[in-house]
Structure 1
Amino acid sequence: MNILVLGAGYAGMTAVAAVARRTRGEDVRVTLVSPSTRFTERLRLHQVATGQELADLRIPKMLEGTGVEFVQGWVTAIDAGARRVALADGRSLEYDKLVCALGSVADTGMVAGVAEHAVTLNSADEAARLASRLVAGATVVVGGGGLTGIEAAAEIAEQHPSVRVVLLSRGELGAMMGAKARTYLLAVLDRLGVEVRTGVSVTKVLPEAVELNGGELVAVDAVLWTTGVKVSPLAAEAGLEVDGRGRIVVDATLRSVSHPEVYAIGDAAAIRQKYGVIHGTCQSGIPTGAHAAASLAREVRGKEPRAFRFRYVHQPVSLGRRDAVIQFTHADDTPARFYLKGKWAVFYKETVSSSPWKEFAILKRWAQLPLSLKGGRATRMA
């Protein structure tokens, strides 16, 4: 079986490592496609945006010993009928099973001028563009009051106290949290000097200003855009059934409802649970990658894949390097009673941000364990 995985984010990397472990010794070829050899720690891009250096994680190095083949290239088309993927350099890759893990990026087409004049956290390179503009006395507007915008605003304010940081949001900040956690979050932003303005919308981004609803202009030296996301159009163009946001509609096992040889995971998938469609986060993306791998391994052995079940656990929010707030949640992501703040929350958030690599290392070690033939089948030796 030829398994092709598109996208090397948290979900895609989990999927290839897990499927390599689960199908070791079977007649399976696993290939991972990504345009870059460097893995992007999206959980930490707000740190890159302030000039902090992250570990240089290289995908080929991370995959050593797993048996996964890495192909560097841009995917330009999926031919679902021929089960073939086209790359920008003219190469094509065939598959028996496809895992779409292409993720999402900030939508810069929602508001005029964003694409031309704002910076996003879509990549480490783009985040670094903002860091170069954080000079003393500069004004930075963060557009979007979601968790990404909050983390970025706090990080900038802490790392560059001489920079004026203005956080603009249509809704209430931290509305997804309980009252106590939200109160703490707002207090930390105030202590850091972040100017919070809620109930406002950006209608246009200009070279040196943002225009708000009502016509007000706010002079800026840089704009960081964190609101709204979009997914790759490749699935829709290939004829796969997608929802109104372009995400692949999947069944309970994470297979495309229109093309069951295609699995969709992470932000690329519209995954329905009892409480609704899950929203794209690392928290949900990694389990989808692991589940797709388990399902593929079952198919390799002639078994039916099982249904995916997921419950939310927390909303971890860093507020610079020295503060954080963690809202624990019910299964449907609504706030539960308990929350963490301060140094314990910092420790918790750092543990969460580092956990994907601990899990990946475990999967990789399992994939590298020797095999022995037992009863005519390849089995793992503990």
Structure 2
Amino acid sequence: MTASHGNRSSSHGTRSSEVSSRQVVVVGAGYAGVIAANRIQAARRPGVTVTVVNPRSEFVERVRLHQHATDGTGATHALSGILDPAVRLRIASVEEITDAAVVLDDGGSLDFDVLVYAVGSRSVRGVGAEHTHTVGDLEDANRLRSRLRELTAGSSVVVVGGGLTGVETSAEIAERFPGLTVRLVSSGPVAEGLSDRGRRGVTRTLARLGVEVHAGSRMLRAEPGRVVLADGTDLASDCTIWAGAFGVPDLARRSSLPVDDAGRLRTDENLVCLGHPNVIGVGDAVAPPARVAGHIRMSCQAAIPLGAHGADTALALLGGQAPRPLSMGFASQCISLGRRAGVVQLVHADDSPRSVALGGRTAAVVKELICRSARWGVGTRGSAVRWPVSGPTPAGQPQGTSA
């Protein structure tokens, strides 16, 4: 296929007789995609060109979208200021991935020698999706912001989902709009993945902010003006927010690449796509073997080291070397509870909670520093980042140094 380039890009041109041109295409410019592109470019391999394909020219800090929805907190940054200047940026969406090219929605295509699949995740809404909002992407957060500004004192907001996204969203809205009635619906315990101490910190702060918690019953359906729970509870709702499960785009499935039941790209322990040795998967939309990634959850905390490791795998393949297997673990879970409180839950490498958890203003400061460091970490200054925690590995196998 003929490669067609747009913004900050040009045609491939004639291949040099001295240095063979190698094309690396990164699909997606979230946390995983940006750090992968910057890390590959930072290696300055002769003849290697890196092109990022993304539908927008901005990098979106998804960890701030619940804040953006309440007060317009800046959650976007120009990719031109985050990507290495030598990285090419093509503003388009990928319609299909073939054996050696990506087909774009603007009618063009890009040839590749190595492709990094970094399409990320998105909200999967429950029953009554047409009557709910989310904070899963920038457009959804913008729509929610407009709706929240329309509400008057005494209006009701129902947040469905007792995980960390739901907890952060309900706390943020309650703090920013004290005149609203905010309810949090959870099918199980709120913040179930935290330790007892961590959960107590969350529930105490939600209570202080006036959030009504309805735990132990799932949403049956959302309708205009109300939410009906499976236990028969009928909650008034002028604005319903879905903060439940996340899913992934269907690009891999559409392209006949191997996927798991959730549509995530299936890879080996090096993040190389099964049966497609020139395709590497990183971020939320990848499914490596459970022995190295069974503990990994969708998060920027995981996307950054996955992107870095994927870049290392790409460089190894370009150099004709064997890539290293993935080995990454977690250190903490950081939850914002408005702007003045939070919880930092220390965890084992497999993400199971330790007994230690910090709360209050100290945790809020730590959370903010983590958010800032995440954006810094994907940029050119963070291209040499190393993941400090090795992940769980099968007994009898040595742990590698993780990215």
Residue equivalent to 2:25: 4
Separation in 1 of the partners of 2:75 and 2:338?
18
Q: How is 1:60-79 mapped onto 2 (pairs within 5 angstroms)?
A: 60-63=80-83, 65=85, 67-79=86-98
Separation in 2 of the partners of 1:344 and 1:200?
33
Q: Select the residue among 339, 357, 361 that pairs with 1:343.
A: 361
Q: Which amino acid counterpart does residue 63 of structure 1 have in structure 2?
A: L
> Higher mean Cα deviation, 242-251 or 212-221?
212-221
TM-score normalized with structure 1 length? 0.90
- State yes or no: 1:298 paired with 2:312: no
Q: Which amino acid counterpart does residue 162 of structure 1 have in structure 2?
A: G
Aligned-pair CA distance for 1:200: 1.2
Separation in 2 of the partners of 1:209 and 1:76?
38
> Higher mean Cα deviation, 336-345 or 124-133?
124-133
- State yes or no: 1:148 paired with 2:152: no
Q: How is 1:21-60 mapped onto 2 (pairs within 5 angstroms)?
A: 21-22=42-43, 24-54=44-74, 56-60=76-80
Aligned-pair CA distance for 1:268: 0.9
Identity %: 38
CA contact (8 A) 1:177 1:335 kept: yes
Aligned-pair CA distance for 1:212: 1.5
Deviations 1:130-174 (A, max 9, x none): 222323222111011110000000000011100111100101012
Separation in 2 of the partners of 1:254 and 1:204?
38
Deviations 1:23-74 (A, max 9, x none): x141101010110111111000000111232154111232252x11000011
Q: Select the residue among 109, 115, 136 that pairs with 1:122.
A: 136
Aligned-pair CA distance for 1:260: 1.7
Report the number of matched residues: 359
Separation in 2 of the partners of 1:346 and 1:307?
35
- State yes or no: 1:287 paired with 2:302: no
Aligned-pair CA distance for 1:14: 0.7
Aligned-pair CA distance for 1:365: 8.2
CA contact (8 A) 2:258 2:265 kept: yes
CA contact (8 A) 2:219 2:228 kept: yes
Deviations 1:268-299 (A, max 9, x none): 10123457252211111100111111121222
Aligned-pair CA distance for 1:353: 0.5
CA contact (8 A) 2:376 2:382 kept: no
Residue equivalent to 2:400: none
Inter-CA distance 339–256: structure 2 relative to 1 (3 Å threshold): same
Q: How is 1:167-316 mapped onto 2 (pairs within 5 angstroms)?
A: 167-271=184-288, 272-274=290-292, 276-316=294-334
Residue equivalent to 1:15: 36
- State yes or no: 1:103 paired with 2:139: no
Inter-CA distance 69–229: structure 2 relative to 1 (3 Å threshold): same
Separation in 1 of the partners of 2:116 and 2:171?
36
Q: Which amino acid counterpart does residue 46 of structure 2 have in structure 1?
A: E
Aligned-pair CA distance for 1:176: 0.8
Q: Secondary structure at the match of 1:291?
A: helix
Separation in 2 of the partners of 1:365 and 1:276?
26
- State yes or no: 1:329 paired with 2:347: yes
Separation in 2 of the partners of 1:306 and 1:365?
18
CA contact (8 A) 1:51 1:128 kept: no
Deviations 1:338-371 (A, max 9, x none): 21111211111111101123223454788xxxxx
Q: Secondary structure at the match of 2:67?
A: helix
Residue equivalent to 1:376: none
Q: Secondary structure at the match of 2:185?
A: strand
Q: Secondary structure at the match of 1:63?
A: coil
Inter-CA distance 365–248: structure 2 relative to 1 (3 Å threshold): closer
Aligned-pair CA distance for 1:217: 2.6
Q: Secondary structure at the match of 1:132?
A: helix
Separation in 2 of the partners of 1:326 and 1:318?
9
Separation in 1 of the partners of 2:197 and 2:60?
33
CA contact (8 A) 2:116 2:280 kept: yes
Q: Secondary structure at the match of 1:3?
A: strand
CA contact (8 A) 1:78 1:238 kept: yes
Inter-CA distance 25–249: structure 2 relative to 1 (3 Å threshold): closer
> Which runs of 5 or more residues in structure 2 are unaligned?
1-21, 385-403
Q: Secondary structure at the match of 2:240?
A: strand
CA contact (8 A) 2:331 2:347 kept: yes
Residue equivalent to 2:391: none
Q: Secondary structure at the match of 2:59?
A: coil
Separation in 1 of the partners of 2:313 and 2:47?
16
Q: Which amino acid counterpart does residue 53 of structure 1 have in structure 2?
A: T
CA contact (8 A) 2:34 2:379 kept: no
